[in-house]
A and B are shown apart, each in its own frame.
Chain A
Amino acid sequence: MNFDFSDDQRMLRDQAQKFLTDQSPPRVVRDVLEDSAKAYDEKLWGEMAALGWMGTAIPEEYGGAGLCPEDLCVLAEELGRSLAPTPFSSSVYLATEALLLAGSEDQKQKYLPDLAMGETIGCFALAEGVGVPTPKNISVTASNGALSGVKEPVADGDVANFVVVLARSGAADERGMSLYLVDLDGVDRESVETIDPTRSHARLTFNGTSAELLGAEGEGWDLVQKIIDRAAVYFAFEQVGGAQASLDMAVDYAKNRFAFGRPIGSYQAIKHKLADMYIATELARSNAYYGAWAITTGAPDVSVAAAAARVAASEAFNHAARENIQTHGGMGFTWEFDCHMYYRRAKILSLNLGGERRWKDRLISQLEARNAA
């Protein structure tokens, strides 16, 4: 038994950590936060592309490195730790994975080599405003190869070259849902403000926009479940990285901030708070590791593993980011301190694939299904 990353993977992690410490320090994240014209850090994206990160899990025949999902998880943790302001999650965990899962040979040939090089950015459009997207309420419709309707918020929809869209192609039920690929050139799109400006989001308005089926008609709902199961594990690693960074920041502050003549970290009120952040982060890390193993090997309980990783990681990062602010006291809620960048990212990451409440419900459904099997 070896329930840890391999020596090669740990070397990859060290390299990624060093690279991101240099190239994605808080100042770079803050630049994107404060400059409304900046959707992401293009220089950072270019350097990540030069390292071949976007092609990590893309097979070599499509121009990728042909590594396994575990390797991508290693990178995800470091991207989460550094809050790297790039469209990596949309393009790699969602659009690329959708193509690998459901793309025809032509579609793979067309998109994957450019995705692997970071020259094309993909995104994934599921949400239609406030509320839970379900087969009953999805209102973007497809007919005769054209889409109509509005998707919002779409992470990186304002900077991507193409989008994978869930739309209604038939009845308002699971079998009436299909996935489509849409070239975003010429699509009406508008940046929207979210709680985390370091990750750009957009409103996409389709108006008879020409679209190409991804996977078979009527398979869209099932495909989305598979796509978000895998993405949930990658997101979980970003969240674990973010939780660890929040904890590290809080611990550092608690050692150096003095009150009543001693470091605040020597008071149990603070010490125990930090211990709880550590525990939540470690439990999330362990669940995420299992998720990585499950998606890499195609384990039969992959849906349970993915949901557990997602729930644990959402809880951990939201908790750690919130209590990091509390540990910093008054400075914690200033614009000047970096605490809020983690707080924003924690919440947006836990919403992007569906909220904590819904993933908890999904986890129990998956456990019921496993139990019935």
Chain B
Amino acid sequence: MDFTDTPEDAEFRAEVRGWLTANAEEKKPGAIYKAKYGEAALIPLSQEWQTKKFKAGFSGITTPLEYGGRGGTQIQQAIYDQEEVNFLVPRHIGSGIPLVIPTLLVYAKEEDKKQFIPEILRSDKLWCQLFSEPSAGSDLGGIRTRSERDGDDWVINGQKIWTSNAQHADLAILVTRSDPDAEKHKGLTYFYVDMKSPGIEVRPIKQISGMANFNEVFLTDVRIPDSQRLGEEGEGWRVAITTLMNERVSSGARPAPDFEDIFGLARDLEIEDGPAIANAAVREKLAHWYIQARGVDLTRMRTLTAMSRGQTPGPENSISKLVSAFKRQEIALFGMDLMDMGGGLMSRETTPMRAVFQEAALEAPSGRIAAGTDEILRNIIGERVLGLPREVRVDKDKPFRDLPTGV
């Protein structure tokens, strides 16, 4: 085992660090909890930062050169990510880089790749993902939004939900049902669509936290030219799988509060018998969270090692989100418990660490549901890693329109 960089990687790391130091502010110890996730004010900051990165060749490190990327390696991307977490920079907004680019690379026409990919890398255009529906979340194959062919166009009618950034997005990727008479996974067709098209209406969903990070998107007689189809008619499921495979390769950033935050709180906070960290019950929990946080980080390094040998990251990456999202909720709620009678206070000015525990407690339930629920991820591990048999399926080999739908 060897954690040192190869000479080429060391050179790349030095270049990255030099550039970040010159262009961004380094994080001080005692981390700063920035503007809330999804705040519209972050968008221009994010776009400005992405454009800067693009010019320096750090946006789309693994994207091929002909589409504006660097044509670099996964290890280089990992090195960039490892260095960037030490700086205060706005994150990329929307589905463009993580989901849309990998899908376009496989299924888009050459001129579309040449146009859209550099736009995404610069964040000139924001993309969102129109996948989930009110009656099709974990069971994405059950979507009902209809697409019907009309000359050179398709006409779309239906409703999507849980769409992050729909209100800001210029474009979207969209899965629709083109053939309700086919078996459920065989009647889907995949498009990209201009979010300014007539017939698209976006309504925010207010969450537990009071924030509105997600939206409902209503599509009424939306016309999409057939030239915006990705993949063949009826092949939409396969295209969607390409998109979703990339959802699981996470960047490694762990949203606060994580181990470091609860460790810091426990050291700072006095409870009845001294600093919280001296209490045995607190120490037990801290130790468990440490081995989980560290275990997830180290598992990612094992994945990177496998990738550097040319292996494709597989379903085992489901571990990372599953463990981290649940841990975050537990840490947030326990942090409040340590604050005892005042633990419910939400003032950013007076509550420890700018109320990150309280805010995260209200936000954390969504983390265990978005991008694959805890339960779906356990199914993926059980079936695709351990090779256990699938649940009995009652929706196989039947036309979609004959499936029971419930209420």
Helix, strand, loop or mixed for chain B's interface? helix
A266-B392, A286-B295 are contacts. A361–B319 as well, Cβ < 8 Å?
Answer: no
A4-B306, A289-B1, A367-B263 are contacts. A284–B295 as well, Cβ < 8 Å?
Answer: yes
Number of A-B pairs, beta carbon distance below 8 Å: 151
B377 — which chain A residues lie within 8 A by C-beta? 275
Asked whether B2 is an interface residue with its Cβ less than 8 Å from the other chain, the reply is: yes
Q: Please report the C-alpha to C-alpha distance between residue A368 and residue B266 in the assembled complex, in whole angstroms.
A: 11
Instruction: Assess whether B316 is in contact with A282, with CB atoms less than 8 Å apart.
Output: yes
Asked whether A364 is an interface residue with its Cβ less than 8 Å from the other chain, the reply is: yes
Output the least CB separation between B338 and chain A (Å): 15
Count residues of B near A (Cβ-Cβ below 8 Å). 49
A262-B392, A357-B284 are contacts. A3–B298 as well, Cβ < 8 Å?
Answer: yes
Q: Which of A62-113 contact B (CB under 8 A)?
A: 70
A3 — which chain B residues lie within 8 A by C-beta? 1, 3, 298, 301-302, 304-305
Asked whether B382 is an interface residue with its Cβ less than 8 Å from the other chain, the reply is: yes
- Measured as residues with beta carbon below 8 angstroms from the partner, the interface class of chain A is 35 or more
Helix, strand, loop or mixed for chain A's interface? helix
A247 — which chain B residues lie within 8 A by C-beta? 386
Q: Please report the C-alpha to C-alpha distance between residue A263 and residue B387 in the assembled complex, in whole angstroms.
A: 12
Q: Please report the C-alpha to C-alpha distance between residue A275 and residue B316 in the assembled complex, in whole angstroms.
A: 10
B301 — which chain A residues lie within 8 A by C-beta? 1, 3, 286
B280 — which chain A residues lie within 8 A by C-beta? 361
B389's partner among A263, A286, A311, A312 (CB-CB below 8 A) is: A263
A266's partner among B4, B287, B290, B389 (CB-CB below 8 A) is: B389
Instruction: Assess whether A283 is in contact with B299, with CB atoms less than 8 Å apart.
Output: yes
Asked whether A19 is an interface residue with its Cβ less than 8 Å from the other chain, the reply is: no
Q: Mark B246-287, 1 if CB is under 8 A from A, else 0.
A: 000000000000000001000100000000010010011011
Output the least CB separation between B167 and chain A (Å): 36
Closest 5 CB pairs of A and B: A283-B295, A360-B287, A271-B382, A286-B298, A265-B388
A-B contact pairs, 21 of them (CB 8 A): A1-B3, A1-B9, A1-B305, A4-B306, A5-B1, A6-B1, A251-B386, A255-B387, A255-B388, A255-B389, A272-B378, A275-B385, A282-B295, A284-B291, A284-B295, A286-B296, A289-B298, A311-B291, A361-B280, A363-B291, A364-B287
- Identify the A interface with B (CB < 8 A): 1-6, 70, 247, 251, 254-255, 262-263, 265-268, 270-272, 274-276, 278-279, 282-284, 286-287, 289-290, 292-293, 296, 308, 311-312, 315, 357, 359-361, 363-364, 367-368, 371
